[in-house]
Amino acid sequence: MPKHSISIKGIPVAYSDSGKGIAVVCLHGFLETKSMWNPLLALPKKYRIISIDLLGHGDTPCLGYVHSMELMAEIVFKVLSGLRLRSYFVIGHSMGGYVALEMLYNKPSSIKGLLMLNSTPLDDSDEKKIERDRAILAVKSSRTHFLGNAIENLFAPYNISLYQDQIQEILLNAKKTSIQGIVAALEGMKIRKNHLETLKNCHNTRVILGEKDPVLNYESLQGIFKKNNIDFDTIPDGHMSIVEQPVLTVEMISKFLKRLPALSR
C-alpha cells in the first residue's frame, strides 16, 4: 500500500492509503503494524483501504507514557479529518478493536459499520490487569525475549510451527515498537472502558472470533454475544485470523461490507 504520514500533536502519524472507493479504516493490534492489512487488497476495488500505525507502533512514534484508547482514537480521528473523510467503515484487530469501539462511543454518526476481529468489548479483568503488569516487567527485563514469546502466543498452538515465516515477519515489524511504546500500549489497554453496551446498542456491527484463540476466551465471549444479540462469526484458529486463515477472514470481511448501507459521498 502507498505510505504517507501526517503531523499530529508534533509527531508524524504513518498510514497507508490504497484505492478510491468506499473508505474502510483498518486498525491493527498490539505489536502489529499497518502492514498486517495487506491481505485486504484482495477486496474489490470499490473500497479505499486506509490503515494507520497506531501510537508507538510501526512508523508512528510515542506520544507520552500511556497510550489510552481515547488518545489513540483521537489520533485516528485527526488522520481521517486530514483526509477529509466524514464517514467510513472501521475494522479493528484486537487492540485496534478497542480503539474502534472508543471511536464508535465518541462519534457514532461517523462510523457506518464496525467489524471487530479477534477482539472484545469487555474491559480487563483484575486477573488480566495483573498479567499486563507482569508483561510490563518482562519487556523492561528483556524486550527481545518478550516479543518472541508474545508473538508466538497469538497463534493456535498447532499453527506455531506451520506459520514460522509469518511469525518471523510479524516479529520483525514488532521490533519497531520501542519499550516505551509497548509499555504505553499495555498501560492503555489496562485502563480501557467496558464497551459492551456501545457494541450492543449499535447497528451494523459484527465480531469475528477465533475458536482456538489463546488470548480471548471463545466460550465465554460467544455466550455473552448470544445473550446480548451481538452478531459474530467463528474461525477455527487462533488470535491471528488474518494470518492463520487469510482467505476465510477476507471472505467474511467482504460479506460484512457488502451488507452495510452505502456511504454518502
pTM for this structure?
A: 0.95
Confidence check: pLDDT of 261 > 80: no
Q: Domains of the chain, with CATH numbers? A: 3-259 (3.40.50.1820)
The confidence score (pLDDT) of residue 41 equals 87
The confidence score (pLDDT) of residue 265 equals 43
Q: What is the mean pLDDT of the chain?
A: 94
Confidence check: pLDDT of 262 > 70: no
CB contact set of 71 (below 8 Å; sequence gap of 6+)? 55, 63, 64, 188
Label residue 46 by pLDDT band (50, 70, 90).
Answer: confident
CB contact set of 193 (below 8 Å; sequence gap of 6+)? 69, 102, 105, 123
Confidence check: pLDDT of 153 > 60: yes
Burial of 14 (0-12, 13-18, 19+ CB in 10 A): buried
* Model pLDDT for residues 179-238, shown as the tens digit of each residue: 999 999 999 999 999 999 999 998 899 999 999 999 999 999 999 999 999 999 999 999
| 103 vs 20, residue with greater confidence | 103
Average pLDDT rounded to a whole number, residues 60-79: 97
Confidence check: pLDDT of 79 > 80: yes
The confidence score (pLDDT) of residue 20 equals 86
Give the CA angle between residues 208, 211, 213 to the nearest 5°: 90
Average pLDDT rounded to a whole number, residues 14-25: 93
The confidence score (pLDDT) of residue 42 equals 86
